[in-house]
Amino acid sequence: MGGPRMSQPIDFPVLLQPFFTKRLIAQRRASPHTIASYRDRFRLLLQFAHKELGKPASQITLEDLNATFIGAFLDDLERDRRNGVRSRNLRMTVIRSFFRYATFEAPQYSGLIQRVLDARRVDCSGPGRGKARRSRRRAFGPRPQHLHRPSGTTRVEARIG
């Protein structure tokens, strides 16, 4: 009785495949270059999710991809891959596009989706990365404890203790 329930999490791949086939290819008629670019950006997200959550891509749920997790992903790209603010904003554009699509396909997750969509872009016109980091923290909130690691340690060392 009542509206849809979130008791059964929606698998991310169930939404991702039609995002490419229905939304990008059929509705938006995106070019092969755009589709390849989106694919590569999602590949990075899925690799990060596997590394941080310990889940293969087939088991990731929409609930796993909350605003805090997306913020941690973008931080990781900037820190470990040395991506600049512009690259981070491009990746966020792809993520937002997917979440706008998910709004219609999984309305029971509208709260989670809206928090990701509400995250602000970082201004890349000013000097310094500190400003960008502070702005990201305001947009996404602090990193969850399980994603923190002591400085100077590798991910493996941080997980071992």
Q: Tokens 């702005």 identify what position?
A: 135
CB 32 within 8 A of CB 43: no
**Maximum alpha-carbon separation in the chain:** 54
Q: Which residues contact 37 (CB under 8 A, 6 or more apart)?
A: 94
Give the pLDDT confidence score for residue 112 in this predicted structure. 93
- Give the start-to-end residue ranges of the domains of the chain: 12-160
Give the pLDDT confidence score for residue 9 in this predicted structure. 72
Per-residue pLDDT of the chain (161 residues), as tens digits, is 444 444 567 789 999 999 999 999 999 999 999 999 999 999 999 999 999 999 999 999 999 999 999 999 998 988 888 888 888 888 999 999 999 999 999 999 999 999 999 886 555 555 554 555 555 555 555 555 555 555 555 554 544 54
Give the pLDDT confidence score for residue 89 in this predicted structure. 86
d(Cα 17, Cα 22) in Å, to the nearest integer? 8
